[in-house]
Amino acid sequence: MEYIQNSDNHYFVEGSLDALLCGNSSDAGLCPEGFTCMKAGRNPNYGYTSFDSFGWAFLALFRLMTQDYWENLFQLILRAAGKTYMLFFVVIIFLGSFYLINLILAVVAMAYDEQNQATQREAIEKERSSSGYWSNSGIKTW
């Protein structure tokens, strides 16, 4: 346990705040000579990038679907898990993000249409109330 918590045993790339990720699968990134690949230290990006819980995984998926800094997440996953996970990113980026964009556009279009219809109804009601005329008996008629 003391070995894992000792940050001298973590390999840091120059200029990076996070330890270099590696994986134990055959196509994952390998550790440099003299280092052993094991789960140690905090998660990347100040601990915000992980699939450790549903909430963090959902945040990572939302980040992918909105295509906000997704390249970093892509590189981290490829380095830690391997190139086979590229399929996951292809599906999420090409299908998920375009679906999300179309969903947002549909919601905006529906809200615009509802607002337009409400404005038209108000205009018709206003026109009806102002277009009535007074008859000789003093009763307003249309």
Query: Whole-model pTM?
Result: 0.55
pLDDT digits (tens, 9 = 90+) for 99-112: 878 888 999 999 99
Residues facing residue 19 across a β-bridge: 12
Q: Is residue 139 a part of any domain in this protein? A: no
Tokens representing residue 108 in the block: 């905006």
Q: Is residue 132 a part of any domain in this protein? A: no
Q: Is residue 142 a part of any domain in this protein? A: no
Q: Is residue 129 a part of any domain in this protein? A: no
Neighbours of 133 (CB within 10 A): 7
How is 60-85 classified by DSSP, letter by letter? HHHHHHTTSSHHHHHHHHHHHH-GGG
pLDDT digits (tens, 9 = 90+) for 48-94: 888 888 998 898 888 888 888 888 888 888 878 888 888 888 888 88
Phi, psi (degrees; rounded to nearest 5) at 88: -55, -45
From first CA to last CA, the distance across the chain in angstroms is 88
CB 31 within 8 A of CB 22: yes
- Report the domain count for the chain: 1
Domain that holds residue 18: 2-123
92, 102, 36, 43: which is closest to 67 by C-alpha? 92
- Whole-angstrom distance, CA of residue 33 vs CA of residue 103: 48
